[in-house]
Amino acid sequence: MGVGSAGKTGVRAAATRGGSALALAWRAGRLQILGYGVLELVAAVVPVSMAWLTKLALDAIVGRPVGGTTLTFLGGGLMVAGVAAADRAFHFDPNGLQSHKVTCLVGP
């Protein structure tokens, strides 16, 4: 914690503590912080890309006739996005010793 922020509450104190925590993490591992940031940005793009590729695939199927190459490209993109989304459904511990599967609401 920063000097003078101990025991204080409010937005300003929280921002000070958050800044101190970020500075400590930055000093401890710059590459890890940047890597996590990049991975989070990629994870944020996955659902949007899945929706966009699904729309394009449905437009190609329902609309005018398109070549097999276009549908193959769209299907491949959906497959890659689906694998990325499925990877987010499994949480791995930092040591990689075990995984915890997210429970599904759909029956067996």
102 or 42, greater pLDDT = 42
Domain boundaries, given as residue ranges, for the chain:
11-101
Lowest mean pLDDT segment, chosen from 50-54, 63-67, 99-103: 99-103
Burial label, 13 (beta-carbon count in 10 A; 0-12, 13-18, 19+): middle
pLDDT at residue 89 in the model: 62
pLDDT at residue 5 in the model: 47
Tens digits of per-residue pLDDT, 14-62?
Answer: 888 988 988 998 898 888 888 888 888 887 888 888 888 888 878 877 8
How many Å separate Cα 18 from the centre of its chain? Answer: 22
Does residue 68 surpass a pLDDT of 60? yes
pTM for this model (two decimals): 0.49
Listed as own residue / partner, the contacts of 75-78 with beta carbons closer than 8 Å and 24 or more positions apart are 77/49, 77/53, 78/50, 78/53, 78/54
pLDDT at residue 96 in the model: 52
Which residue intervals of 1-108 are DSSP H helices?
11-28, 30-62, 68-88
Number of Cα atoms under 13 Å in the Cβ half of residue 47: 6
